Amino acid sequence: MATQIDFFSDLQTVPAESRRAMYMDFVAAGKYRQDTLENRISANVGFESSEIEALESLFCKRCQPRTRSAFRQRLQAGLSQSFGIYGRVVFDSKNERRPVMYVAGQSYPDEVRTVRELIIRKG
């Protein structure tokens, strides 16, 4: 765990335009078991438009347009606060069909709603 904290604090000193590439290289090298939403927030790397679309598709199914819009805007602005449940949101760039997955613990619909609300309200 200390390696992650040291890496994330060191990554904050890297210019924003280089930070994402450095983080992705770190993930590709296998330094983490998974590329999670929690790690991305800690590293402050942001999201590409395709990742935002995948997150919206996963967490905003059957939502009203205003909810989708609020969710998208919050992701585009960047998330500043991390919650443990974000560790269950896993990015897989090799999987074109499902680039983002959610690993549920108990109740998938309840947990998806919780993540969506946390992103929109707490960011």
Q: How far apart are CA 25 and CA 101, in angstroms?
A: 21
pLDDT tens, residue by residue, 32-78: 668 899 988 988 888 999 999 999 999 999 999 999 999 999 999 99
Q: Write down the pTM of the prediction.
A: 0.85
Q: Which residue type occupies 78?
A: G
For the chain, what is the mean pLDDT? Answer: 87
- Return the ∠ at Cα 120 (arms to 28 and 91), rounded to 5°: 15
pLDDT tens, residue by residue, 71-104: 999 999 999 899 999 999 999 888 888 899 999 9
Give yes or no for residue 5 having a pLDDT over 50. no
Instruction: Tell me the CA distances in angstroms from 87 to 13, 104, 105, one per residue in order.
Output: 24, 11, 11
Contact 31, 3 (CB under 8 A): yes
CB atoms closer than 10 angstroms to residue 99: 19
